[in-house]
Structure 1
């Protein structure tokens, strides 16, 4: 490898990406035990990816040949078609692909397993992956870089499609939850007292949007850096690979730890009022009956039927609803 004064500081860029990737990999491993049923292939991909990055670090900074110049590490990382670099690109593409499929699957479940709703997102995702894998293969050929004509065309198609799939599918999930939450709230709010309730699924909606917004924002940053010709776009792929595995786990872990927008207060209230369950209906909060459900009502000759609902029962039901929706 010959030295060049025009080469960017790829050694520093990739070293930063490596360290961030290792930190995210540790976090992903710690959370995977809580969600081991979700996309184990993604976990394998990101583990191999960070191992490959560590091997690159050894070859660039430790196993240097005799007489290597000061720019050796940067020149090493500039070989975008090398075996280790191509392996990492393939793992990144595969991890993102599985993450997108998982997101589409969740939309399929939320939309009552209606296969028609996933036809367009799945088609767009397959086209996106075709562009991504084609770019990985072309990049391994001689005299190719991420800014040659073919790669630029594929990159300009691939990353925008990634943004479209994540944003539109996340929006479809959130809108469906919002609609169903309105239906549930209206049903729970009917009765003689005219009680109105907030959307029942506000917490799950915000949790899903916030969790997937991390990957959407990172993909947008990668696209901007790539179009601007900034070599830091390559470093972002190391981070995005780990994020693609962390985001699905993040939703489950947030619910399990009570870190959503509604569960912390619910858990606190549950602990404070847990003893109300043993006191019977007289100690609970009384609400107007839900005419759609004939459970737990009692009839009185002097007034409308009433239903006794304890605080702890309400909070337990809310927590169960959020776990069902988000998992």
Structure 2
């Protein structure tokens, strides 16, 4: 065999395995199904009576077509990028958006609602869709899917889907630390334990309905988001380290809960996705990731306090290049930051599902 022929055969072999690997990766996950808060709400809040909306400029300025979809970002969210990286559609539909067909929802959907928490009381304060209601919508969706696809196909989609929970920050910043009810009932550590119990119950509910591949994201360093820096009276402009300590305690207990769930749920694989580490690293070294050195401000408005309706301001008060900012508004990452986080968790915790 000539050297040229050998090279040609080797090239065909490499292409064959690359193509096969690509198909296998996409085929391992049938859909992405999301529960959570504004970090993963792709537009559900557009369809409920709440002020926690992002369906107006400057939100969505870098989304396909410049459309403000209801995502709290200038573009796509972490789960959108994860979906694309899995070989699924590049954006995850909002369940309450009736513009999507059941065929589109069959490859991925989000039940998430901006303002929601693990604690249903959090959603009451913000008039969001509670996590328990999101799980009820999931049950409703399963019945719709069975009706459209048949039981066998629907069961396969549900069992092979990747489930992502991204929720918990609002329980602290919009509930426990902002309002007196839960603080009168629980110490901080007791409230963390209470929330972990709710997280455990939510995963078990999803498992009962057919979920088997489950990722639960930990809390990020929410004491470092611009809004909390602005409100930090102890060190104006600095991270609220008390809040970061709470996030780390929650994450440690969540990891323990995930280990227990894996021992108790036959046939399920539950993973903890660490977002705290990547975000805290970017906050400490923003230029290493191509971000502006000023991570204490978001792109929208003054960048210090604006989010949701407060971001609907005139163009002169909004930055020119959102993706140079770690945060788009005072609480939510920019599209570029979302892509970095998605890459990180897909190459770590979620890798087991590839």
Tell me, yes or no, whether TM beats 0.5: no
Provide the TM-score with structure 1 as the length reference: 0.26
The structure with the larger Rg is: 1
Richer in helix (by share): 1
Provide the TM-score with structure 2 as the length reference: 0.25
